[in-house]
Structure 1
Amino acid sequence: MLVAIVAVILVVSGPVTDALGSALGLGEAVRDAWDVAKWPLLAVVVILAVGLLYYATPNVRQPRFRWISFGALLAIVLLVIVSAGFALYVANFSNYDRTYGSLAGIVVFLLWLWLSNTALLLGAEFNAELERVRQLQAGVRAEERLHLPRRSTSALERAEERDREGLELGRRIREAHERQPGGEE
């Protein structure tokens, strides 16, 4: 939902705000106000989205919700830099349309999505390493892994059960093969 809000904020401009200003009898004042107000609004929505992403997606209980963390700040700055650099590259140096034809837009979008996800993952890793340093400074043995309580272990327990069942099935197949004449080599 937040991504849709960001898309609307970016798309609503020029003719849309002019039409809204005309309908309200305010003329170009609406467009000028929107041109100024959309950037802080966009920043707040992006900060909220990244904060929620970093809070909700790991399967650990976070101590508290942080609107902005150092990793989120790093990710947002990288997102801006990567998006601007990639837009410059696509506009001036690439030939995706010659290579991919009508599918060029999809290829460019997927490449941008990959770059954006890489920036978000780097921010999440940065947050995890900061948490590791906090734990190490607190005397927690976090050299190999972080020690945070999990939200849910049911998926892990199901995966372990499937692994045990697979191992048991493999053992039975091997034993049945060993008992057959000519089964051992």
Structure 2
Amino acid sequence: MNNSEAPFEDETLSRPSIEYLKETLPKRKLVSKELRRRGTLMAYKRALAKFGSDGCTDFAAALTYYAVLAMFPALIALVSLLGVFGQGQETIDTIMSMMEESVPAETMAFIEDPIAQLVNTPAAGLALIIGLAGSLWSASGYVGAFSRVLNQIYQVREGRPVWKLRPILFAITALMLVLVAAAALMLALSGGVAETIFDQIGLGEEALTVWNWVKYPALLVIFVFVLAILYQLTPNVQRAKFQILSLGGITALVVLGIAILGFGFYLSNFGNYNQTYGSLAGIIMFLLMLWIANLALLFGAELDSEISRSRQLLAGIEAENNIQLPLSDESGVIKLHEKETKMVREAAELRRDVWQEQARH
């Protein structure tokens, strides 16, 4: 076998089946606690190292770009949907008051103006249709980019053909938008809005108190589920099972919370963005916050991949170099290998012809 065929062998034929993993992975529980602790520490160490070597800071910038593209169509859809039910202005006021507690004032000024214009825009029905279509298309770009990043993290190529991959990405995007919309509506049920709705359906103050306590844990559950969808379904690998709560997801949430609070503290006490960027300060800080959020998400993905490697090693699976997860679809990888082999052959033929021509002279 020549060198050009070696990556193909690693990516497809040598990977174990999902049935083998389901049978073998439980063996990791038989090893000592000391070895399992070493495996977890190794996963964190490797995740930190691969976070840099995989270029996650650059990937986070690309994800920030796609997030900005998806954000404003989604805002149009959300505000228009709330406007249909006559709760647009109340909901936006509630969300803005909550954001003011953790988001810098300059960033809030950048966000508030376009949202205020959306709230006061007529023809909510048309805006709703346009916003839903635009948010679905734009957000699918974010999900697609996230899929490509996770393929890099798991050391695999995209093998799903376009006709199969695009519907998968659109389905994931639609599910995520539903969850995000549900989270926004839960935030909307606060203050006077919640009191009015609870009174109309015959629920008293006790139910309102319970709702105020339950709402934030429910929002956290939604966010955890969104992370699980991104981490588990977007890369071109199969899983032994769908894991909603992972160590990478928990770490991403913790890092995200600390990073945003720390960034807000820095801007409030040490930053001089207003003097440096003037009227653009809000935009710059908003983009920085999105970038930091995506950094946290990608570190969580790196950690999840290394936890998978650690569990395989503890089960006796040879995963030192490549994480042994079967591909969801290898047809695209095979075609890409054939294309690359053909290009290598053409290049070799060109070099051979040059050598033969020189030999004749």
The two structures have a TM-score, normalised by structure 1, of 0.76
What is the aligned counterpart of 2:320 among 139, 143, 153? Answer: 143
Aligned positions of 1:8-27 closer than 5 A: 9=186, 12=188, 17-19=191-193, 21-22=195-196
2:333 to 153, 156, 168: 156
CA distance in 2, matches of 1:120, 1:183: 60
The aligned counterpart of 2:235 is 58
The one-letter code of the counterpart of 1:38 is K
Which position in structure 2 is the counterpart of 1:85?
262
Partner of 2:221: 44
Query: Which amino acid counterpart does residue 265 of structure 2 have in structure 1?
Result: L
What CA distance in whole angstroms lies between the structure 1 residues aligned with 2:264 and 2:181?
A: 20
**Change over 3 Å in CA distance of 1:175–1:106 after alignment to 2:** farther
Query: CA–CA distance in 2 between the matches of 1:155 and 1:31?
Result: 53
Q: Spell out, residue by residue over 1:104-124, the C-alpha distance to the aligned partner (whole angstroms, 9 max, x if none).
A: 333223322222222222222
Match of 1:75 among 252, 256, 271: 252
Offset at residue 68 of structure 1 (A): 0.5
- Bigger mean CA deviation after superposition, 50-59 or 122-131: 122-131
Give yes or no for contact 1:60–1:150 (8 Å, CA) kept in 2: yes
Amino acid at match of 1:104: A
Aligned length: 179
Amino acid at match of 2:292: L
SS at match of 1:130: helix
More helix per residue:
2
User: Which of structures 1 and 2 has the bigger CA Rg?
Assistant: 1
SS at 1:58's partner residue?
A: coil
Q: Give the AA of the match of 2:192.
A: D
C-alpha distance in structure 2 between counterparts of 1:137 and 1:109, whole Å:
42
> Whole-Å Cα distance in 1 between the matches of residues 281 and 332 of structure 2?
39
Answer whether contact 1:177 1:183 (CA < 8 A) is retained.
Answer: no
Q: Percent identity?
A: 36
Answer whether contact 1:18 1:31 (CA < 8 A) is retained. Answer: no
* Contact map agreement 1:13 1:31 (CA 8 A) in 2: no
CA-atom RMSD in angstroms: 3.2
Find the aligned partners of 1:31 and 1:102 in 2 and give their Cα distance: 41
Question: Which 5+ residue runs of structure 2 have no aligned equivalent?
Answer: 1-176
What SS is found at the alignment partner of 2:318?
coil
CA distance in 2, matches of 1:152, 1:102: 49
The reply to whether residue 126 of structure 1 matches residue 268 of structure 2 is no
Aligned to 2:271: 94
How do 1:107-122 residues align onto structure 2 when only pairs under 5 Å count? 107-122=284-299
- Please tell me the residue identity of whatever aligns with 2:320: E
Q: Which amino acid aligns with 1:62?
A: R
Task: State the distance in 1 between where 2:227 and 2:215 align.
Answer: 18
Which amino acid letter does the alignment assign opposite residue 262 of structure 2?
A: G
Question: Structure 1 residues 3, 98: closer, same or farther in 2, change over 3 A?
Answer: farther
TM-score by length of 2: 0.42
Q: What is the letter of the counterpart of residue 18 of structure 1? A: G
